[in-house]
Amino acid sequence: MASDTGLAFLRDAPPSAGGPVFAFDNSYARLPERFYARLDPTPVSAPRLIKINEALTRELGLDRDMLATPQAVEILVGNRQAPGSQPIALAYAGHQFGNFVPQLGDGRAILLGEVVDRAGVRRDIQLKGSGPTPFSRRGDGRAALGPVLREYIVSEGMAALGIPTTRSLAAVATGEPVVRETVLPGAVLTRVATSHVRVGTFQFFAARGDGEALRLLADHVIARHYPDARDEENPYRALFDRVIARQADLVARWMLVGFVHGVMNTDNCSIAGETIDYGPCAFMDTYKPDTVFSSIDHGGRYAYVNQPRICHWNLARFGETLLPLLDDDSDKALALANETLATFQGRYGRALMAGMRRKLGLATEEEGDAALAQDLLNVMAEAEADFTKTFRALDPESDDKVRPLFSDPAKYDTWADRWRERLGREPQDAAARRAAMQSVNPVYIPRNHLVEAVLAAAIERDDYGPFEEFLTVLARPFEERVEFADYAEPAPAGQCVYRTFCGT
Ligand code: AMP
Ligand code: MG
């Protein structure tokens, strides 16, 4: 305890002028060379700072002003090496839309290093869009401004909603064009993650039959994310178990806010259980279970309603990579893996129901609650109700706000009778219930038409006012503010964005 306090005290001290921007300690770069490629980011011609995430700098124990100096911005765009940095592009594989690709890797991202945050958690500092790497294949290693801003907005919105996610520390425009379907301005995002190890990282070594690397990777992940697994009889089984628990909880949280990730490939499935890789992701307005946004998801594989099933599928792929570690006897290993994987549905179901009860204002559990929640969703789907607005408007005292959200309010009324009957058996008083419901049903989410409008202002008019204001709104998603009323509204008819693009 005493040494902890001492460390916290040191981290509280302001960094000395001219001291390093980041106090790097790079555990991943100490793993064998076949885990990554060492290389520097590729410099750009005209960096311009767009944004520093002030709240996150505090969390990381960094000095915001120091991070905004021209020298630090040069680091954040890849033009200058940060002291203590050991830049690497990580190797990984992955199933993309169900097809296995034995080598993907960081094709446009470079891990600068790791820092220990003020809570003692090790965090990766990664540049995304920082130039080609040995893993780039045919890509240019760059990121366009639009997708960088989208990731910044949505990841910070998710964090404010309390959903585990990678974070965005900074965005810097490169002053260089990137060629996609059209020519677009380029940018670099500084992404922060509790690690960038993915299911695909394990698959990379499993596909090569590299048992030694698998063990090293598993030990690294256990030490870093799941230290209590070390004390279990079978630490690798415990690792699988913990990852299943985190992913089941994560996807339940997505479902509870109407988030569609869009590219749930195994290389985008974080071992630490964070939402990672914001590409064509979006939140739904109207509740439609089969909602798909991604322009490349033709079969709807990653539709909203499919997310838990896909997560389970991805975890099965993870389990396969662990088989040689689980037991020397391959039959026993398989049995262990299957037994552990089988916990997913129950865990997901419990996490979802716990969240649904909170959304509905239920503090106790009853058998019929799942059906009650499902029936509301069914009515919402039939009557094309807005997902976020409906839950926020639910009020045991009055239906005035919620009824107009349903094209056929009578359908809502029938359900509401049952809801009130159920609430009658709840011990909570009305005020406590209202506060509890408002703390889980957001007013503001990163609605897609708003994201698009913010990106357009930045890209077409070099106007970052809307970006800044949107971040202000999203930082306190549960707190209704009259001046921001428009941000709570779904897309006006005709403005609904049906397609989102990876931007790769
Ligand atoms: P993603 O769809 O972002 O998950 O990326 C899938 C794979 O493609 C990863 O290996 C990325 O590093 C790689 N990739 C995506 N965009 C680019 C790009 N512009 N240049 C090089 N590699 C890329
Ligand atoms: Mg990816």
Neighbours of 219 (CB within 10 A): 16
Q: 110, 136, 296: which to mutate for ligand 1, most atoms within 8 A of CB?
A: 136
Report how far ligand 2's centroid is from the alpha carbon of 278 (Å).
8
Helix or strand holding residue 263 (H, E): none
Q: Write down the domain spans for the chain.
A: 1-361+428-504, 362-427
Q: Residue 5's pLDDT is what? A: 31
Give catalytic residues, as residue numbers: 267
Mean pLDDT of the chain: 94
Higher pLDDT, 504 or 7: 504
* Mean pLDDT confidence for 95-103: 97
Q: Residue 501's pLDDT is what? A: 63
DSSP tag of 77: H
Look at residue 174 and give its three-state secondary structure.
Answer: strand
pLDDT tens readout for residues 105-144: 999 999 999 999 999 999 999 999 999 999 999 999 999 9
Query: How would you label 63-95 residue by residue, b for 16+ Cβ within 10 Å and e otherwise?
Result: beebbbeeebbbbbbbbbebeebbbbbbbbbbb
Which numbered ligand comes closest to the C-alpha of 263?
Answer: 1
Check if the beta carbon of residue 258 is closer than 8 Å to that of residue 304: yes
Q: 108, 261, 295: which to mutate for ligand 1, most atoms within 8 A of CB?
A: 108
Measuring from atom 14 of ligand 1, which residue has the nearest CA?
A: 107
pLDDT tens readout for residues 354-365: 999 999 999 999
Report how far ligand 1's centroid is from the alpha carbon of 184 (Å).
17
pLDDT tens readout for residues 43-74: 999 999 999 999 999 999 999 999 999 999 99
Q: Residue 497's pLDDT is what? A: 64
pLDDT tens readout for residues 259-302: 999 999 999 999 999 999 999 999 999 999 999 998 889 899 99
Per-residue CA distances from 473 to 181, 284, 401, 491 (Å): 32, 18, 21, 17
Neighbours of 236 (CB within 10 A): 23
Q: Residue 500's pLDDT is what? A: 73
Report how far ligand 1's centroid is from the alpha carbon of 400 (Å).
48
Q: Residue 3's pLDDT is what? A: 35
pLDDT tens readout for residues 6-19: 333 333 344 444 57
Report how far ligand 2's centroid is from the alpha carbon of 503 (Å).
12
Measuring from atom 16 of ligand 1, which residue has the nearest CA?
A: 504
- For the whole prediction, is pTM greater than 0.85? yes
pLDDT range class, residue 20, cuts 50, 70, 90: confident
pLDDT tens readout for residues 148-192: 999 999 999 999 999 999 999 999 999 999 999 999 999 999 999
Check if the beta carbon of residue 325 is closer than 8 Å to that of residue 332: no
